[in-house]
């Protein structure tokens, strides 16, 4: 929990505004090409070193990419870790391999179809020269090993962690101890040992005795990056709970609760729905937690439970449209969020394949909107991220004509069908990978 | 060793199958690696087979595990100890795979080989191998290295010994928690191989670092190290260095660490001696028995007998018994269950008077526990109390407890109590049994659940063994045979099963006069399943009864069944007839 001060006390004055440039696109859509449902990307994750990137899709496939600009044979991994990358280079990836992680299934006991869609991917520590990762759909988590055999790459499912969740799995997260991980569904969080697939321990259970009393569900959970005993989970009521595995075997009571009291004046039918947190992420140093709800990004200091240290407006301009968004279910879209490795910036997705990057260092008013195309800056929609901040750069709106179904009062266009839900920040560099439908875009600054 | 006692063709097949696509074939072949090696001869084994195996490291875990195991006993097949070196490379490779059980087996095999190596080979091959693994790029190699130091160390020259101690210290501070865990796990073994002066300095400082690790999972393993190290140190050093650590651990923030202490504490009592036990370990243990976390109380309660066995009875009565009383009404059923599974063992420690005065009320309250496992655990250990205070004092409470368990709605609970009936019968004696439990045993034969009926039939047999045929004739057999008229064929089948179990116990005479007629009668049953079970039972009776009875009674019945319209009945009748033919021929 210490050392977080460095983030805030960074170089004198706010860091420079980042100049984002397009780097790469994989699976770009040609004009008029119809997107196949199964090809839509549903998970993105960099590994710890940033040398590998994995995506999962609705068709149950996992695709791996590897970094090409740092490949340097004969240098050990440890040396590479110590080495700073030469300035001027930016991460470039190439397709490495892909494999079918999950297949559609049918639960005969409950008469339920189980989709193959990959909900989350998490990389694991590498025990040897192979790559290891966890992938999960709604019900089943799998542990994969990817090795090169002769000339080809082979993915083998090493373990299957099944039958432990009655509800849909929304998160998996590795512990810093390297031997355990958690999986969270709507009502429960289970703790697993990576080596043992036939038993898990239930550590959080929010299921009420009577389901009619249910008012809150778990939406996301993550282990602290360095403290093996701490984990955080978010809820549909907009709260984040920090729990300490040391205190008790069953962690139904939290150590800390983070929530922002709502202003009674702004209360409406939608208040509870838009308060729901769709994603939380610990900053690398473990002191801050970033959360995303429908309207905002919030940054929390785990030493301060009175309220967020910063709030970034992402969708404020949609407030008048909440009724429409409710009608077409968009209000339930689950946007992910991410932090830069240095903790100075945060990012999250939006509609019309846009994503937004905010500076969170003190004094920073950075708020950039980018579009997941080859020309990310071609549409800069600037909406004030914090009321106090001035608009520093130009506000230029490029309309996309026929593709744009709606334009709001400010001239901001939005297209609910093209939403950018999934994105990830490179662990050591200013590079973001994000998914626009079936296409993976990588940007750098 | 060059014994070619199997034809060459199968060897070629085995070698071929080492490369087969089918994992089962590869596995078979690996398990017969010694046969292949013998056929190849020592030289070709060294020059061809071992290099081939060295490359084969991306196979299925099962194959790698089998290979790691086989290589550990392979010294004779490569030409004896002077050639044992060649086995190191394939095992070194196996030490770097990600699967823990394969690595562990490879380390085990390396230790086995290392223990036989010549000193020169240890210095020239084995120690460099340990150092290579310890500086491995990936954590799997470093994890494996920790388990090899205790073999490498004793024969190393002094300079190398210093280096090995330094490397071990570095492993204990590795970036990866997995490596630190492995170093903590193996510390006791390594410490045992280190000279006393270094033990007190180097090893204890390594140990101190591990006890302060940020990772709970590492501190947990350091707790285990406490007992192992404690046994190596002189009692005064143990009191000075280990005791404060364990007392600290018993108040660790993490319940998992306290849980480990609760499990291990009794082992340390002997290492530190009686006085520190009384002054430090008893208070620590009492705290653990009253821990906030139920898991910790479960572990502490489960060790209460082992701990008290080390203490004197006065300390037990003064300090531990009050906690035991509290635990017997603990809010967690699992704590009560853990206590119930060991508390009976305290009776011999405390002796008759203290047991009656102090423990009996606790036994009785646990026998009335709402949770069946608690009651079952008490009943399962009755014999331990019986020896000290006899059963009479308990019997009043025992019967209601047994009856309630016998009628529990969960069949697993009913099954568990049936298993204990023969034990109860032997402890309670015939008189008590006749009055109270006989009816229950019959009732289970008519249970809705097959497993219960099956266990009940077995129980009837075990009772007959316990109390003898005469008693059984009076108290069981007539009641059992009565049930053959039950309208439901599944219950009739249970009775046939019981008869086949009873017959060997009851002997030839009773079988012929009482059991056989019932079986013969059942061959007229309208249900084919009964009829083919009759055939099976008759087959089992053939060796028990006299040959004339087989001729006169059993065979005619089987012949009739062998012409039954039902194919299964004919099949089993035929099988029984065949076996009776064989008995006749052999006699």
pLDDT at residue B176 in the model: 95
Alpha helices in B123-199 (DSSP H): 127-134, 139-145, 149-152, 158-171, 177-193, 196-198
Tell me A396's DSSP state. Answer: B
Judge whether A182 and A231 are in contact, CB under 8 Å. yes
Q: Taking CB atoms and an 8 Å limit, are B217 and A229 in contact across chains? A: no
Contacts 24+ apart (CB under 8 A), B172-175: B172/B206, B172/B209, B172/B210, B173/B209, B174/B139, B174/B142
List pLDDT tens digits, range A118-129: 999 999 998 888
> Which residue would you say has higher pLDDT here, A379 or A152?
A152
Res A73 pLDDT > 50: no
Q: What are the CA-CA distances from residue A180 to residues A47, A48, B220, B273 (Å)?
A: 17, 17, 15, 38
% of chain A with per-residue pLDDT over 70? 84
Q: Phi, psi (5° rounding) for residue B342?
A: -120, -15
Judge whether A425 and A396 are in contact, CB under 8 Å. no
Element (H, E) at A347: strand A345-349
Q: Parallel, antiparallel, or unpaired: how do β-strands A112-114 and A296-301 relate?
A: unpaired
Topology (CATH) of B483-586: 1.25.10
Closest CA to A176 of A346, A48, A7: A48
Tell me B47's DSSP state. Answer: I
Res B6 pLDDT > 60: no
Cα gap A97→A145, rounded to integer Å: 12
The alpha carbon torsion through B279, B280, B286, B291 (nearest 10 deg) reads: 160
Res A190 pLDDT > 70: yes
Inter-chain CB pairs, A–B, below 8 Å: 71
| Residue whose pair of structure tokens reads 């093996």 in the numeric block | A228
For the ranges A79-83, A151-155, A419-423, B552-556, the lowest mean pLDDT is seen at: A79-83
| Residue whose pair of structure tokens reads 């009191």 in the numeric block | B239
Cα gap A237→A294, rounded to integer Å: 12
Would you place residue B581 in the very low, low, confident or very high pLDDT band (cuts 50, 70, 90)?
confident
Element (H, E) at B549: helix B547-549
> Which residue would you say has higher pLDDT here, B210 or A89?
B210
* DSSP assignment of A200-249: EEEEEE---SSGGG----EEEEEE-SS-TTEEEEEETTS-EEEEETTT-S
pLDDT at residue B587 in the model: 65
Judge whether B584 and B544 are in contact, CB under 8 Å. no
Q: How many CA atoms lie within 13 A of B12 on its CB side?
A: 3
Stretch B496-510: mean pLDDT, rounded?
94
pLDDT at residue A84 in the model: 52
- SS3 letters across B58-95: CCCHHHHHHHHHHHHCCHHHHCCHHHHHHHHHHHHHHC
List pLDDT tens digits, range A320-348: 999 999 999 999 999 999 999 999 999 99
Sign of CA dihedral A345, A346, A350, A355: positive
Q: Which residues contact A76 (CB under 8 A, 6 or more apart)?
A: B137
Res B225 pLDDT > 90: no
Q: Which CATH number fits domain A21-27+37-69+90-383+406-444: 2.130.10.10, 3.40.50.620, 2.60.40.3620, 3.30.70.270?
A: 2.130.10.10
Q: Which of B96, B294, B295 sits opposite A128 (nearest CB)?
A: B96
How is residue A239 written in tokens? 């709260």
pLDDT at residue B77 in the model: 95
Q: How far is A341 from chain B (nearest CA, A)?
A: 19
List pLDDT tens digits, range B289-336: 999 999 999 999 999 999 999 988 889 999 999 999 999 999 999 999
List pLDDT tens digits, range B441-467: 999 999 999 999 999 999 999 999 989
- Give the N- to C-terminal CA distance of chain B in Å, as an integer: 47
- Using alpha carbons only, how large is chain A's radius of gyration in Å? 21
Return the bridge partners of A188, or none: A205
Judge whether A293 and A278 are in contact, CB under 8 Å. yes
Cα gap B330→B316, rounded to integer Å: 19
Res A155 pLDDT > 90: yes
b/e map A204-216, b = 16+ CB within 10 Å: bebeeeeeeeeeb
Cα-based angle B320, B296, A186 (whole degrees, multiple of 5): 155
* Residue B216 with chain A: CB contacts under 8 Å: 177, 228-229, 245-246
Question: Which residue of chain B is at minimal alpha-carbon distance from A129?
Answer: B138
Q: Taking CB atoms and an 8 Å limit, are A125 and B254 in contact across chains? A: no
% of chain B with per-residue pLDDT over 90? 68
List pLDDT tens digits, range B553-565: 999 999 999 999 9
pLDDT at residue B564 in the model: 93
Query: Rounded mean pLDDT of chain B?
Result: 91
Closest CA to A195 of B259, B145, B143: B143
* Residue A128 with chain B: CB contacts under 8 Å: 96-98, 138, 140-141
SS3 A64: strand
Judge whether B168 and B206 are in contact, CB under 8 Å. yes
Element (H, E) at B10: helix B8-17
| Residue whose pair of structure tokens reads 């994995």 in the numeric block | A54
* Residue B294 with chain A: CB contacts under 8 Å: 249
Alpha helices in B194-273 (DSSP H): 196-198, 204-211, 216-232, 235-237, 243-249, 255-272
Closest CA to B405 of B360, B444, B434: B444
pLDDT at residue B8 in the model: 54
Res A377 pLDDT > 90: no
Q: Is A159 exposed, middle or buried (0-12, 13-18, 19+ CB in 10 A)?
A: middle
Q: Taking CB atoms and an 8 Å limit, are A178 and B177 in contact across chains? A: yes
How is residue B221 written in tokens? 């393993």
Res B435 pLDDT > 90: no
List pLDDT tens digits, range A385-431: 443 333 333 333 333 333 334 444 444 556 788 999 999 999 999 99
- State the CB neighbour count (10 A cutoff) for residue B535: 25
Q: How far is A194 from chain B (nearest CA, A)?
A: 11
Cα gap A132→A125, rounded to integer Å: 7
Question: Which residue of chain B is at minimal alpha-carbon distance from A75?
Answer: B137
Return the bridge partners of A155, or none: A146
For the ranges A247-251, B3-7, B259-263, B377-381, the lowest mean pLDDT is seen at: B3-7
Cα gap B355→B317, rounded to integer Å: 10
Judge whether B281 and B268 are in contact, CB under 8 Å. yes
* Residue A126 with chain B: CB contacts under 8 Å: 138-139
pLDDT at residue B2 in the model: 45
Cα-based angle B269, B270, B273 (whole degrees, multiple of 5): 80
pLDDT at residue A76 in the model: 52
Q: Taking CB atoms and an 8 Å limit, are B178 and A77 in contact across chains? A: no
| Residue whose pair of structure tokens reads 């007629």 in the numeric block | B517
Give the full edge-to-edge strand order of the sheet including A131-136: A120-123, A131-136, A141-149, A152-161
Res A384 pLDDT > 80: no
Cα gap B374→B393, rounded to integer Å: 19
Tell me B49's DSSP state. Answer: I
Question: Could you tell me if B314 lies within 8 Å of chain A, comparing CB atoms?
Answer: no
A252-256, A308-312, A394-398: range with highest mean pLDDT: A308-312
Q: Which of B100, B140, B216 sits opposite A246 (nearest CB)?
A: B216
Judge whether A428 and A91 are in contact, CB under 8 Å. no
Q: Which of B58, B138, B255 sits opposite A147 (nearest CB)?
A: B58
Judge whether B375 and B369 are in contact, CB under 8 Å. yes
Would you place residue A353 in the very low, low, confident or very high pLDDT band (cuts 50, 70, 90)?
very high
Would you place residue A12 in the very low, low, confident or very high pLDDT band (cuts 50, 70, 90)?
low
How is residue A109 written in tokens? 């006991």
pLDDT at residue A411 in the model: 47
Question: Could you tell me if B214 lies within 8 Å of chain A, comparing CB atoms?
Answer: yes
Stretch B145-149: mean pLDDT, rounded?
97
Judge whether B391 and B399 are in contact, CB under 8 Å. no
Q: Where are the domains of chain B?
A: 483-586
Res B220 pLDDT > 80: yes
List pLDDT tens digits, range B338-349: 999 999 999 999
pLDDT at residue A428 in the model: 94
List pLDDT tens digits, range B275-294: 999 999 999 999 999 999 99
Q: Taking CB atoms and an 8 Å limit, are A177 and B98 in contact across chains? A: no
| Residue whose pair of structure tokens reads 């099963």 in the numeric block | B497
Q: How far is B580 from chain A (nearest CA, A)?
A: 48
Question: Could you tell me if B579 lies within 8 Å of chain A, comparing CB atoms?
Answer: no
Closest CA to A184 of A221, A214, A141: A221
Q: Taking CB atoms and an 8 Å limit, are A127 and B140 in contact across chains? A: yes
Q: Where are the domains of chain A?
A: 21-27+37-69+90-383+406-444
- Using alpha carbons only, how large is chain B's radius of gyration in Å? 32
Judge whether A358 and A386 are in contact, CB under 8 Å. no
């Amino acid at each position: 929990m210490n050392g977080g001060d460095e983030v805030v006390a960074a170089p004198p004055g706010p860091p420079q505004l980042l100049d984002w440039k397009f780097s790469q696109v994989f699976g770009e859509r040609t004009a008029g090409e119809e997107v196949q449902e199964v090809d839509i990307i549903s998970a993105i994750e960099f590994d710890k070193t940033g040398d590998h990137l994995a995506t999962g899709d609705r068709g149950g496939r996992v695709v791996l990419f590897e970094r090409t600009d740092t490949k340097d044979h004969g240098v050990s991994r440890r040396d590479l870790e110590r080495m700073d990358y030469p300035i001027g280079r930016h991460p470039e990836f190439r397709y490495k391999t892909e494999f079918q992680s999950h297949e559609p299934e049918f639960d005969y006991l409950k008469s339920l179809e189980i989709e193959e869609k990959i909900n989350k991917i998490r990389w694991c520590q590498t025990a040897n020269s192979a790559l290891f990762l966890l992938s999960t759909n709604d019900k089943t988590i799998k542990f994969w090993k990817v090795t090169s055999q002769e000339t080809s790459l082979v993915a083998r499912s090493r373990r299957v962690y099944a039958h432990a969740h009655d509800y849909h799995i929304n998160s998996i997260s590795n512990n810093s101890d390297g031997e355990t991980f958690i999986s969270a569904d709507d009502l429960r969080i289970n703790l697993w040992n990576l080596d043992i697939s036939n038993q898990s321990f239930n550590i959080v259970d929010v299921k009420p005795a009577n389901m009619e009393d249910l008012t809150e569900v778990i939406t996301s959970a993550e282990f602290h990056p360095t403290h093996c005993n701490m984990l955080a989970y978010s809820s549909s009521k907009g709260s984040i709970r920090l729990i300490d595995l040391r205190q008790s075997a069953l962690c139904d009571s939290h150590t800390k609760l983070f929530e922002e009291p709502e202003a009674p004046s702004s209360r409406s039918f939608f208040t509870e729905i838009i308060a729901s947190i769709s994603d939380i992420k610990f900053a690398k140093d473990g002191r801050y937690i970033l959360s995303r709800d429908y309207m905002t990004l919030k940054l929390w200091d785990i030493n301060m439970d009175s309220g967020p240290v910063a709030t970034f407006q992402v969708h404020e301009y949609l407030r008048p449209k909440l009724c429409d968004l409710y009608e077409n279910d968009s209000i339930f879209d689950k946007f992910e969020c991410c932090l830069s490795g240095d903790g100075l910036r945060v990012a999250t997705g939006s509609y019309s394949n846009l994503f937004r990057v905010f500076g969170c260092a003190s004094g920073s008013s950075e708020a950039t909107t980018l579009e997941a195309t080859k020309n990310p800056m071609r549409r800069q929609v600037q909406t004030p991220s914090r009321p106090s901040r001035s608009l520093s750069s130009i506000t230029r709106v490029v309309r996309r004509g026929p593709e744009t179904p709606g334009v709001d009062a400010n001239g901001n266009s939005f297209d609910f069908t093209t939403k950018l839900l999934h994105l990830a920040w490179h662990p050591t560099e200013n590079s973001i990978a994000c998914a626009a439908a079936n296409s993976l875009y990588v940007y750098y600054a | 060793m060059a014994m070619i006692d199997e034809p060459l063709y199968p060897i070629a097949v085995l070698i071929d199958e080492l490369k087969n696509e089918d994992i089962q074939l590869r596995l078979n072949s690996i398990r017969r690696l010694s046969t292949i090696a013998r056929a190849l001869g020592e030289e070709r084994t060294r020059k061809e087979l071992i290099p081939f195996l060295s490359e084969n490291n991306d196979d299925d875990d099962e194959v790698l595990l089998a290979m790691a195991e086989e290589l550990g006993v392979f010294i004779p097949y490569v030409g004896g100890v002077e050639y044992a070196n060649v086995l190191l490379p394939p095992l070194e490779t196996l030490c770097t795979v990600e699967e823990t059980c394969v690595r562990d087996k490879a380390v085990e095999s390396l230790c086995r080989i290392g223990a036989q190596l010549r000193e020169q080979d240890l210095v020239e091959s084995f120690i460099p191998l340990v150092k290579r693994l310890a500086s491995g790029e990936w954590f799997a190699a470093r994890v494996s290295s920790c388990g090899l130091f205790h073999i490498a160390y004793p024969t190393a020259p002094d300079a190398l010994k210093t280096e090995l101690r330094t490397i071990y210290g570095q492993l204990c501070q590795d970036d990866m928690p997995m490596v630190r865990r492995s170093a903590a796990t193996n510390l006791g073994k390594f410490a045992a191989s280190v000279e006393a002066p270094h033990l007190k300095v180097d090893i204890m400082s390594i140990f101190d670092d591990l006890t302060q690790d940020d990772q709970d999972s590492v501190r947990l393993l350091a707790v285990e190290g406490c007992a192992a190290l404690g046994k190596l140190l002189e009692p005064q050093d143990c009191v000075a260095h280990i005791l404060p650590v364990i007392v600290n651990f018993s108040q660790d923030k993490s319940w998992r660490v306290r849980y480990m202490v609760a499990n291990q504490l009794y082992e340390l009592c002997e290492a530190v001696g009686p006085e520190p036990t009384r002054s430090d370990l008893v208070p620590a243990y009492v705290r653990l028995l009253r821990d906030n976390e139920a898991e910790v109380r479960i572990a502490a309660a489960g060790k209460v007998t082992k701990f008290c066995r080390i203490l004197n009875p006065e300390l037990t009565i003064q300090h531990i018994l009050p906690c035991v009383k509290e635990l017997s009404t603990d809010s967690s059923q699992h704590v009560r269950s853990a206590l119930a599974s060991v508390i009976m063992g305290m009776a011999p420690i405390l002796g008759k008077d203290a047991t009656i005065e102090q423990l009996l009320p606790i036994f009785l309250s646990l026998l009335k526990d709402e949770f069946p496992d608690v009651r079952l655990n008490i009943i399962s250990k009755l014999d331990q109390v019986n020896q000290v205070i006899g059963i009479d004092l308990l019997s009043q409470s025992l019967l209601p407890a047994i009856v309630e368990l016998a009628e529990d709605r969960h069949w697993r609970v009913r099954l568990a109590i049936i298993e204990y009936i023969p034990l109860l019968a032997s402890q309670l004696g015939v008189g008590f049994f006749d009055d109270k439990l006989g009816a229950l045993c019959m009732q289970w034969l008519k249970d809705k659940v097959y497993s219960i009926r099956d266990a009940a039939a077995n129980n009837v047999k075990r009772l007959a063994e316990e109390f003898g045929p005469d008693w059984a004739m009076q108290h069981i057999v007539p009641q059992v045979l009565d049930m053959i008229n039950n309208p439901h064929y599944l219950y009739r089948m249970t009775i046939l099963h019981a008869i086949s179990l009873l017959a060997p116990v009851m002997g030839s005479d009773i079988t012929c006069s009482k059991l056989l007629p019932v079986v013969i009668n059942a061959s007229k049953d309208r249900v084919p399943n009964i009829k083919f079970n009759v055939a099976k039972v008759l087959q089992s009776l053939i060796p028990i009864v006299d040959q004339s009875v087989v001729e006169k009674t059993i065979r005619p019945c089987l012949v009739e069944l062998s012409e039954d319209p039902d194919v299964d009945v004919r099949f089993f009748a035929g099988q029984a007839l065949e076996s009776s033919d064989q008995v006749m021929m052999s006699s």
